[in-house]
A and B are shown apart, each in its own frame.
Chain A
Amino acid sequence: MQLSGYGQKAPRRLDATFAALADPTRRAILARLASGEASVAELAEPFAMSQPAISKHLKVLESAGLVSRGRDAQRRPRRLEAGPLAEATEWLERYRWFWEGRFERLDALLDELKAKGKRRGRTKRRGDHR
């Protein structure tokens, strides 16, 4: 029985995604590509980095599946691939919940149980009251 919706390759893909995201330049490249595709030269511009240095970062992003190449053979624009990023965020969400969000709804339930307990206590003590 397969309980997880993810395939066998999911952990490796997540590793690649997180490794690729663990660099501020690469995150900045992704943020830039989120507003539209761009050539290597255009991407290098705001970074005060050589094109080969940017290409190196792009290679990491491409092998992680976060960036792909557009059809224009001359410009070879790079494009953001949203799938792996959304998948990584979604994965983290689950464990964020497990660590931080798990008890959020317990407070409300406990309040309700306390109120019920009080009502029951009152009914028991003075059974002739309704």
Chain B
Amino acid sequence: MKNVGALEITTPSDREIMMTREFDAPRRLVFDAFTKPELVQRWLLGPPGWSMPVCEIDLRVGGRYRYVWRRDRDGTKMGMGGVYREIVAPERIVATERFDEAWYPGEAVGTTVLGEQGTRTTLTQTMLYESRDARDAVLKSDMEKGVAASYDRLAALLAWPGARGVEQRAQPS
């Protein structure tokens, strides 16, 4: 946890996933970077080759946020959003989260806590899922991701026909 940039992931209960990361900046700045759309749009850009055309934040209890990412190559979109339940600037945000294309069942509640140590900030983000199954689905995709690293070489080998195949499939219907 001491290392800036290192992401630590734990499971505090059977419906939760907690991640911790340290930033070399005071928490006021980290809070701004998480809550001001013009700042969020500068870092939360999506996977390589994607951009973030939509970033709407209504920062008040009951207010909504909405993020949409777009793959520039073919216009494929990935969206998510939710509602703020608690806001204590600059230390705590609780908000719901739901992806347009579900990768886990139902809705999750995310609690973001910013702790300040001198000029550094520790971000702790705890996601509470609707069920153990939903939590496990997320963990499973996390593990599959590890397996995916071993497919990367294969995928690179296939890059030219694969990329074409995916583009054809990814056209909005």
Decide whether A and B assemble into one complex: yes
How many chain A residues touch B (CB < 8 A): the figure is: 46
B30 near A110: Cβ-Cβ < 8 Å: yes
Tell which of B4, B161, B165 touches A87, judged by Cβ atoms closer than 8 Å: B165
With A5-B170, A100-B7, A109-B39 given, is the CB distance from A89 to B45 under 8 Å? no
Give residues of chain B (61-115) contacting chain A, Cβ–Cβ below 8 Å.
68, 71, 74-79, 100-101, 103
Whether B1 sits at the interface, judged by CB under 8 Å, is no
B151 near A102: Cβ-Cβ < 8 Å: no
Tell which of A86, A95, A101 touches B162, judged by Cβ atoms closer than 8 Å: A86
A85 near B151: Cβ-Cβ < 8 Å: yes
Q: List 24 A-B contacts (CB under 8 A).
A: A3-B79, A4-B76, A4-B101, A5-B170, A5-B171, A34-B154, A80-B158, A82-B158, A83-B165, A83-B169, A84-B165, A85-B154, A86-B163, A87-B165, A88-B148, A88-B151, A89-B155, A92-B145, A92-B148, A94-B46, A97-B46, A109-B43, A110-B33, A117-B29
Instruction: Return the chain B residue nearest A22 by Cβ.
Output: B147
Q: Which residues on the A side are within 8 Å of B118 (C-beta)?
A: none
How many chain B residues touch A (CB < 8 A): the figure is: 60
Interface of A is mostly: helix
Whether B14 sits at the interface, judged by CB under 8 Å, is no
CA distance in complex: A77, B50 (Å): 38
Whether B21 sits at the interface, judged by CB under 8 Å, is yes
CA distance in complex: A99, B169 (Å): 25
| B106 CB, nearest partner CB in chain A, Å | 15
| B158 CB, nearest partner CB in chain A, Å | 4
With A3-B101, A107-B24 given, is the CB distance from A85 to B43 under 8 Å? no
A113 near B25: Cβ-Cβ < 8 Å: yes
Instruction: Return the chain A residue nearest B168 by Cβ.
Output: A83
CA distance in complex: A97, B44 (Å): 10
| B77 CB, nearest partner CB in chain A, Å | 5
CA distance in complex: A86, B166 (Å): 7
Whether A106 sits at the interface, judged by CB under 8 Å, is yes
B43 near A105: Cβ-Cβ < 8 Å: yes
| B102 CB, nearest partner CB in chain A, Å | 8
